[in-house]
Chain A
Amino acid sequence: GENVEQHPSTLSVQEGDSAVIKCTYSDSASNYFPWYKQELGKRPQLIIDIRSNVGEKKDQRIAVTLNKTAKHFSLHITETQPEDSAVYFCAASRGYGGSQGNLIFGKGTKLSVKP
């Protein structure tokens, strides 16, 4: 089955700097890669996702890149702000095949943005 590795587990940056979180996946059939943000004590919420037919997607200060050959994808946050502090989860899914289509999550990255 799919396995998703996420690095780093913790990341501390100064306000205004960029933050990069990387994930690798094992199932070459995976074609959907979302990123979720979870603030302390809150529910996870989707912030951006990418499908395998594109290599990059951007939404204001957030971008995701996908390298299907290397089976890795990354989240880039520019001009970080204190409200970006949260735990970020990557995930991967092949989208079909019953339970084999499960969305598999990485273990999360705790991002701290220091003012």
Chain B
Amino acid sequence: IAGITQAPTSQILAAGRRMTLRCTQDMRHNAMYWYRQDLGLGLRLIHYSNTAGTTGKGEVPDGYSVSRANTDDFPLTLASAVPSQTSVYFCASSEQGWNNEQFFGPGTRLTVL
């Protein structure tokens, strides 16, 4: 693994189903983030984690949950998917805090029908 990876690359999901998007980084970055990208709305923060064991809510957290059991992994879970969660999801990481370059993963394209 080099950098930050996400899985799956894309997914079509029935409404009401549970889904976990995976994110792994090997840069030993303290901070990790989940964004959703929708056309015309830019990147909006869903949840973040400043360090392993801590998480926080971003701008659009409803319907999503995260965990940060270790430094490398930061999974995003949709407990019961709804069509409005159709989006491209990007995971990102930075050495620490908000005032540092964020490195983005390749993204997961999620369609909820």
Contact = CB atoms under 8 A, between A and B. Distances in A.
A96 B100 CA distance: 12
B101 A34 contact: yes
A73 to B, nearest CB: 15
A95 B99 contact: yes
A101 B98 contact: yes
Contact of A44 (B56, B58, B90): B90
Given A102-B48, A102-B58, A44 B104 contact: yes
Given A44-B90, A46-B101, A103-B45, 13 more contacts: A9-B40, A34-B101, A43-B90, A44-B104, A102-B45, A102-B48, A102-B58, A102-B98, A103-B98, A104-B59, A106-B42, A107-B40, A107-B42
Contacts of A25: none
B98 A32 contact: yes
A93 interface: yes
B97 A98 contact: no
B67 to A, nearest CB: 17
Task: Tell me the dominant secondary structure on chain B's binding face.
Answer: loop
A43 B106 contact: yes
Interface of B: 40-45, 48, 56-59, 90, 97-99, 101-102, 104-107
A93 B99 contact: yes
Contacts of B107: 43
B99 A98 contact: no
- The 5 tightest CB contacts between A and B, nearest first, are A95-B99, A32-B99, A43-B104, A93-B98, A107-B42
Contacts of B90: 43-44
A31 interface: yes
Contact of B57 (A32, A51, A99): A99
A13 B3 CA distance: 34
A32 B42 CA distance: 18
Contact of B102 (A42, A46, A98, A99): A46
Give the residue among A42, A49, A103, A106 with the most B Cβ atoms within 10 A. A103
